[in-house]
Structure 1
Amino acid sequence: MSIERRDMDAGTRRGATALLARAAVADVRADERLRVAIDDFFLDEDARLDDRTRVAMAAVLGDLALGIEAALRRYAARLLAARDAATLAETLSAEAPAILERLVGSGLVRDSDLMRELFGRVRQDLLADALPSDAPEDPDRASLLPRLAQQGDSVVAASAIALLSAESRRRVPPAPGQPNPSDLPAELHHRLVWWIAAALRERFAGGAGEALPLLDRALAEAALRSIAAHDEGDRLEASALRLAAALDPQANELPALLVESLADRRLSLFVALLAHALGLDYGDAREIVLDPGGERLWLLLRALELDREAIARIGLALSDADPRRDIDRFAEGLDAIVAVTPDAARHALAPLLLHRDYRAALVALARHQDRVR
């Protein structure tokens, strides 16, 4: 490398201009890193993501984006090849860096609805994996879901089989070349598909030339095909809700089902049973169950008239699975939990039964009022 002084030519000047541009970008990035570091430093410990959640979240988001991207590129390339745009089709179908980084950089995936769903899914899966597996009282008795799948009630049996299948799809990655369903609610799936289609257009538009309209048309058709094929009824959460509705447990049957669903490590069914019993949205019930503080969950269980023994078994199982939960605090507060009457618990939980958008507006107003003060 030469460090001798030389006269500037056009290439040198272009290089200097590029260096200045990169330096300006680096200055912005340094400022952004500082702001993020400040936010992280002042973050409460209970709000900070643990390493397991962070890694799992990155994997889920990456798999979702990669699966949708691969499907869009594959079908769009097929359409382009049939429309006399073979070169562009080959470019589109060739290996290239995944576009998740572009979506993250754009801020699109910071969408609160998407993040709420993915954080809920990840934390639910991590908690389910950590639940203690209790030995059955009768060793000859099948565990909960296989037993329900063999019931004489065809609706219950079909719903149990559907939940077993949904759990398998969620946990076992598809074989190479097989479709990778997003398992998202329809609205979120649609949103992510269009974001990825737009990012693909941005990446390949420069080399499209006069074929750009063909690229736009092919990507739009591929996106619409992905949207049409998506069935949110196949999702794990939807399957769990259908099984809860098929079981429709009565007040005297619910406690045993809740306890056994946790003992069988079927957290999705536990959440769905609670949601069905009180008419809650699955996401709201999941949020309550995943809250390490547990106050709303204890109220919910009392609203359903669960007794001390059932609440104690549920609390101990969740505490064993989640190190953030204070088992001593739970044990000390058990008497106070049971002292809450079902009517008082239902009254305290009444705001949760309001429409989600209505509740969000109330929370936004309250937050604004706190800032004014």
Structure 2
Amino acid sequence: MSDNPVDMRDGATIGANELLARAAAEDLRAFRALTVAVDDFFLPEESRLDERTRSALGGLLRNLVETVESEVREHAVRLLSARNAADQAEGLAGEESQVLARLMRSGLLRDSELMAELMARVRQELIGSALPMHAPDDPERPSLINRYIQHPDRVLATGAMAVMIAESRRRGSPESGQLAQSDLPAELHHRLVWWIAAALRERVAGQAGEATIDLDRALIDAAQRSLSAYDEGDRLEAAAMRFAGAIEAQPQELPQLLVESLNDRRIVLFTALLADALGIGYELAREMVLDPAADRLWLALRALDLGRDPIAQIGYALCEGDPRRDLEAFADTLDTIASISADAAREALAPLKLHPDYRAALQALERTEKAP
């Protein structure tokens, strides 16, 4: 018998319970992983993200979170330092950021409106960068946007310059990977800022113990500063819509403007010109342009009375820029598209001009099961 007997039963019991809890958690993780894998396996091929889109979407999401996080964190650190909360300032500034990972785990980034916007933005940029290059008929003739920058009409020149500035801002810094701003619609930027502030608070609050009031105030002030400084009107899409409205393209001018904007690989400007001519919002026009089936786009072009040749040029450019599109299928249907009368096309598109919230409500009802 030992001279110093120790009862190990409590320790063994605790150890066994911990192992059982870990095993149960592992079973749950394995089940969730299997569920995701099964869902992925049965996902229709046409709904599956290709690697290029998946990679671009991941990069955009990371850059957006890091851009907003850096802005909120840096200002909060300055506020905490000025308010004699050095320990919390050091905690907020010192550790490697885990904000993106925390938001991913939380499920907040699964927000359907946020992901719809990011997906559309990624696809828009990928198609735009892959559009075929076109040498101008006249080598001395400037590109569409540069011609307007040199335009004697100050409104047009200013609008064209605003588009170029917004394009540069959208690309961000190639060295840091951070963006000049989120360039999101205001409501989505608002959500992202508060999610990031909450994630930063959670990460530092454990070190601060109960003395979190200074941390909370600093993060709230930093978030509100980010929100007050954000101007949705600076977004590339907003600048393009203002420019398209300033052009006031006449029916005889519109086909060439649309074709030339794609030739210049400015898909945002193409979309804005289309939206302005149809009298609809940018987001709806973007849906038409990005839809690989493109039925609504062809109807829209015919509603604007575009002829066979400009429709062919637009269709060819989009097929070249988007691997999801079938060039042969488009060629086979081109004559049918051209044969649709402008009046018939306008009548078919009439529901798209309804109030956006009304249309969204109708679509929401259609997606639900109808009552017996």
Q: Determine the structure 1 residue equivalent to 2:273.
A: 273
Shift in Å, 1:82: 1.6
1:199-278 alignment runs, 5 A limit = 199-278=199-278
Identity of aligned residues (%): 59
Change (3 A) 1:10 1:192: farther
- Give the aligned partner of residue 292 of structure 1: 292
Residues 201 and 215 in structure 2, CA contact (< 8 A), matched pair in contact too: yes
- Which aligned segments of 4 or more residues in structure 1 are displaced greater than 3 angstroms? 6-22, 174-180
CA 1:19–1:166 in structure 2 vs 1: closer, same or farther (change >3 Å)? farther
Residue of structure 1 equivalent to 2:150: 150
How far apart are 1:259 and its partner, in Å?
Answer: 0.3
Aligned residues: 367
The aligned residue for residue 3 of structure 1 is none
SS for the counterpart of 1:207 is: helix
Distance 1:207 1:317, change over 3 A: same
Aligned to 1:134: 134
TM-aligned CA distance change 1:150 to 1:15, over 3 Å: farther
In structure 2, C-alpha distance between the alignment counterparts of 1:310 and 1:38, rounded to whole Å: 45
Letter in structure 2 aligned against 1:40: D
What residue is the counterpart of 2:3 in the other structure? none
Q: CA deviation at 1:307?
A: 0.3
Q: Quick one: distance in 2 between partners of 1:321 and 1:259?
A: 14
Distance 2:177 2:369 in 1: 53
Match of 1:189 in 2: 189
SS of 2:210's equivalent?
helix
Q: Deviation of residue 14 (structure 1)?
A: 5.1
Query: Structure 1 pair 360/34, CA: closer, same or farther in 2 (3 Å)?
Result: farther
TM-score of the two chains, using structure 1 as the length reference: 0.93
Partners of 1:243 and 1:13 lie apart in 2 by: 72
Q: Given the superposition, is the C-alpha separation of residues 179 and 117 from structure 1 closer, same or farther in structure 2, using an over 3 Å criterion?
A: closer
Contact 1:66/1:98 (<8 A) preserved: no
Conservation of the 8 A alpha-carbon contact between 1:292 and 1:325: yes
| SS, match of residue 210 in structure 1 | coil
Over residues 200-239 of structure 1, what are the superposed CA-to-partner deviations in whole Å (9 max), with x where a residue is unaligned? 1111111112321111111111100000011111111111
1:249-288 deviation per Cα after TM superposition (whole angstroms, max 9, x unaligned)? 0111100000000001010000000111112111111111
Structure 1: which amino acid aligns with 2:275?
Answer: A
CA distance 1:268–1:87, change in 2 (3 Å): same
* 1:16-56 Cα distance to aligned partner (Å, 9 max, x none): 44443333332222222222222222222111101000000
Describe the shift of the 1:11–1:158 C-alpha distance in structure 2 as closer, same or farther (beyond 3 A): farther
Write the distance in 1 (CA, Å) between the matches of 2:244 and 2:312: 22
Alpha-carbon distance between aligned partners in 2 of 1:177 and 1:109, rounded to the nearest angstrom: 20
Gaps of 5+ in 2: 1-5
Partner residue, 1:328: 328
Deviation at 1:176, TM superposition (A): 5.2
Query: Deviation per CA, 1:116-149, whole angstroms, max 9, x where unpaired?
Result: 1111110000000000011101111011111111
- 1:140-184 deviation digits (Å, cap 9, x = unpaired): 101111111111111111111111111111124276598731111
Residue type matched to 1:231 in 2?
D
Q: Which deviations, in whole Å up to 9, do the C-alpha atoms of 1:56-79 show, x marking residues without a partner? A: 000000011111111111111111
TM-score (norm 2): 0.93
For the residues of structure 2 that align with 1:14 and 1:158, how far apart are their CA atoms? 72
Aligned partners of 1:85 and 1:211 also within 8 Å: no
What is aligned with 1:72? 72
Gaps of 5+ in 1: 1-5
**Residues 302-326 of structure 1: CA distance to partner in whole angstroms, max 9, x if unpaired?**
0111000010000011111112111
Matched residue type, 1:368: T
Measured at CA, do residues 12 and 167 of structure 1 come closer, stay the same or move farther in structure 2, by a change above 3 Å? farther
Give 1:48's aligned amino acid: R
In the alignment, structure 1 residue 119 sits paired with structure 2 residue 119: yes
247 and 220 in structure 1: CA distance in 2 versus 1, 3 angstrom threshold: same
Partner SS state of residue 43, structure 1: coil
Q: Could you say which residue in structure 1 is the equivalent of 2:313?
A: 313
Look up the equivalent residue of 1:157 and give its one-letter code.
Answer: A
RMSD, matched Cα: 2.0
In structure 2, how many angstroms separate the alpha carbons of the residues matched to 1:41 and 1:355? 38
Question: Shift of residue 113 of structure 1?
Answer: 0.9
The C-alpha deviation readout for 1:81-112, integer Å capped at 9, x for no partner, is: 12221111111011323311111111111111
